[in-house]
């Protein structure tokens, strides 16, 4: 008898309880050796006034087992609630989200029968840092944070995953033609790390054309690594065009733990009607079994599931005349998988999880470089102002320039409007005013910024924040204004 592995399980909301019961039944019948701890998350917890959707006590179980099989939850609409998924991923440091998207043609209808790709999505950074502010009457801000260690971890993970799972190519998607510093860093780190994996092909695409190719010719891709937001969106697209969002599972991997879930949501409209396809959660559970060293059980479950699909026993979301034989509910689908445990598919290639397959567990820690030589060379002061045209603001602010800092440029939503802006540019009430050092060595001190802010405030202007402008080893750590 295999030693039991403790896992934490949450049944979630909507179709969550049905697909979790189905999945646990299959795991049990397949001989998985698990000790299950159940926690409650989601809607009922939110309704009890816990804005995170998870009770403090539930963390004890997660921190003890470090393996979480999770059903989807319903995120309440409106403000005041934090996304539970984002909280769990970030609190447990689950930096890699791995989403295999595979076509099961000809049994599951798809336009892309040869599609077989894995999206590796960065899970902790980017716009999901959740740092948002209302800065003026008209403008909201969301901070996009991308770090070098974060990029190194996810990019290395993607290459290691490709190697361990016998894949040939890693593609990177970014938008670094526009976001030169944040996405630019992701791309740069990708190019650096790719050099260490000469056995694998690699390429980079701007995310817009990459997304178009993914939707049109997904069979050209193998492993795709990307920052958080693009990965979130494009993995749903990929799962859907492979057959159905109901079919894809995902793992969230970190050094301290792992979470496994279907990629779809709680599908409240079909909840409780025995209609849901449990395959996404079942696929996630297979990934979990590999993760905890029960690859043999994962092999049995995966093959039985493939047998069920190729017999044409399909839930409504993947049922199609000509491809399917029998339309079944969640229960019957589950029974069909259980009946086929021990069988191998004859149309699909049978699966065999070997030692070392699956996700990457231990990576070398990201390298911490020695700090760069950092010089403070200016400051962007952001203002809330709506009392006139840009030239008037330029005139007011020019009075605040002194021998240390001089006003060089004003932009509105990133476009230069002073000096010599175009009258056609639409201006909101949110202004970025760039002051550059005028000192002999081109650098300033913190106190110069503080005294500038005092002068700005004295002129009656409402500054909402400032952003230091620094050179790092002589390279500007800031971008130019559009039109500058
Ligand atoms: P959804 O994924 O729940 O549903 C999208 C569509 O796919 C619906 O038509 C649904 O019926 C269908 N579908 C999804 N899973 C299916 C399955 N297993 N079998 C058959 N059909 C399936 O997305 P949504 O409607 O945008 O979101 C519903 C709720 O889920 C929202 O509250 C959302 O916040 C939440 N959500 C949770 C997670 C999560 O917990 N990981 C992820 C995404 C969305």
Break the chain into its structural domains and give their ranges: 1-92+243-353, 111-241, 374-476
- Whose C-alpha lies nearest to ligand 1, atom 43? 265
Report the sign of the C-alpha dihedral through residues 395, 401, 406, 411, in that order.
negative
Each residue's pLDDT tens digit, 436-464:
999 999 999 999 999 999 999 999 999 99
Q: How many whole angstroms from 32 Cα to the centroid of ligand 1?
A: 27
| Average confidence (pLDDT) over 41-57 | 89
Rounded Cα distance between 247 and 205, Å, is 27
| Average confidence (pLDDT) over 268-291 | 96
Rounded Cα distance between 295 and 315, Å, is 26
User: 3-class SS at 13?
Assistant: coil
Identical fold at 1-92+243-353 and 111-241? yes
pLDDT of residue 75: 84
- Residue 361, pLDDT > 70, answer no
Could you tell me what percent of the chain has a pLDDT over 90?
Answer: 82
- Residue 378, pLDDT > 90, answer yes
Q: How many whole angstroms from 236 Cα to the centroid of ligand 1?
A: 11
Q: Which of 267, 316, 331 has most ligand 1 atoms within 8 Å of CB, for mutation?
A: 267
- Helix axes 295-310 and 330-339, enclosed angle (nearest 10): 120
CB of 23 within 6 A of ligand 1: the answer is no
- Whose C-alpha lies nearest to ligand 1, atom 20? 276
Q: What is the pTM of this model?
A: 0.91
Each residue's pLDDT tens digit, 394-421:
999 999 999 999 999 999 999 999 999 9
CB of 74 within 6 A of ligand 1: the answer is yes
For residue 238, what are the CA distances in angstroms to 85, 100, 105, 224?
Answer: 20, 9, 15, 11
Q: How many whole angstroms from 74 Cα to the centroid of ligand 1?
A: 8
CB of 295 within 6 A of ligand 1: the answer is no
User: What CATH architecture does domain 1-92+243-353 belong to?
Assistant: 3-Layer(aba) Sandwich (3.40)
Backbone angles phi, psi at 381, to 5 degrees: -105, 130
User: 3-class SS at 299?
Assistant: helix
Give the distance from CA 277 to its chain's centroid. Answer: 24
pLDDT of residue 356: 65
Which residues 6+ apart lie within 8 Å of 112 measured at CB? Answer: 103, 105, 217, 218, 219, 241, 242
CB of 154 within 6 A of ligand 1: the answer is no
Q: Which of 266, 270, 314, 327 has most ligand 1 atoms within 8 Å of CB, for mutation?
A: 266
Structure-token pair, residue 170: 């890693």
Backbone angles phi, psi at 283, to 5 degrees: -65, -40
Fold of 111-241: Isopropylmalate Dehydrogenase (3.40.718)
Indicate the average pLDDT of the chain: 93
For residue 207, what are the CA distances in angstroms to 123, 154, 196?
Answer: 17, 17, 24
Fold of 374-476: Alpha-Beta Plaits (3.30.70)
Contact 440, 406 (CB under 8 A): no
pLDDT of residue 148: 96
């Amino acid at each position: 008898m295999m030693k039991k592995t403790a896992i934490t399980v949450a049944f979630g909301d909507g179709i969550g309880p049905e697909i979790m019961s189905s999945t646990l039944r299959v795991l049990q019948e397949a001989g998985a050796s698990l000790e299950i701890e159940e926690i409650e998350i989601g809607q009922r917890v939110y309704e009890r006034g816990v804005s995170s959707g998870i009770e403090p006590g539930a963390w004890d179980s997660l921190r003890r087992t470090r393996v979480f099989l999770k059903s989807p939850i319903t995120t309440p609409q409106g403000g005041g609630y934090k996304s539970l998924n984002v909280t769990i991923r970030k609190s447990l440091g689950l930096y890699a989200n791995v989403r295999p998207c595979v076509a099961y043609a000809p049994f599951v209808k798809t336009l892309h029968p040869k599609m077989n790709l894995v999206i590796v999505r960065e899970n902790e950074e980017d716009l999901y840092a959740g740092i948002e502010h209302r800065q003026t009457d008209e403008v909201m801000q969301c901070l996009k944070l991308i770090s070098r260690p974060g990029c190194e971890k996810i990019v290395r993970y993607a290459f290691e995953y490709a190697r361990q799972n016998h894949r040939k190519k890693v593609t990177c998607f970014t938008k670094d033609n526009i976001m030169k510093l944040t996405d630019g860093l992701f791309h740069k780190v990708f190019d650096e790390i790719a050099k260490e994996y000469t056995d694998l092909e690699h390429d980079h695409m701007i995310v817009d054309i990459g997304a178009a190719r993914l939707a049109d010719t997904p069979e050209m891709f193998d492993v795709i690594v990307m920052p958080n937001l693009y990965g979130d969106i494009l993995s749903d697209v990929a799962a859907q065009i492979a057959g159905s969002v109901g079919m894809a599972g995902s793992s969230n991997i970190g050094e301290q733990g792992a979470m496994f879930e279907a990629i779809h949501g709680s599908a409240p409209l079909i909840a409780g009607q025995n209609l849901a396809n449990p395959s996404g959660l079942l696929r996630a559970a297979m990934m979990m079994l590999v993760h905890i060293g029960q690859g043999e059980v994962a092999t049995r479950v995966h093959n039985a599931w493939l047998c069920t699909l190729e017999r044409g026993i399909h839930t409504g979301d993947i049922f199609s005349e000509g491809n399917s034989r029998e339309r079944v509910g969640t229960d019957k689908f589950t029974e069909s998988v259980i009946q086929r445990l021990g069988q191998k598919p004859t149309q699909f290639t049978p699966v065999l999880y070997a030692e070392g397959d699956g996700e990457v567990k231990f990576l070398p820690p990201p390298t911490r470089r020695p700090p760069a030589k950092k010089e403070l060379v200016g400051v962007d002061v952001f203002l809330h102002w709506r009392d006139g045209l840009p030239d008037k603001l330029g005139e007011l602010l020019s009075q605040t320039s002194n021998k240390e800092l001089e006003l060089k440029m004003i932009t509105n939503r990133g476009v230069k409007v002073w000096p010599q802006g175009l009258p056609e540019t639409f201006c909101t009430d949110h202004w970025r005013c760039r002051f550059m050092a005028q000192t002999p060595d081109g650098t300033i001190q913190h106190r110069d910024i503080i005294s500038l802010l005092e002068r700005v405030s004295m002129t009656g202007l409402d500054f909402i924040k400032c952003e230091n402008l620094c050179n790092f080893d002589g390279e500007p750590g800031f971008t130019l204004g559009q039109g500058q």
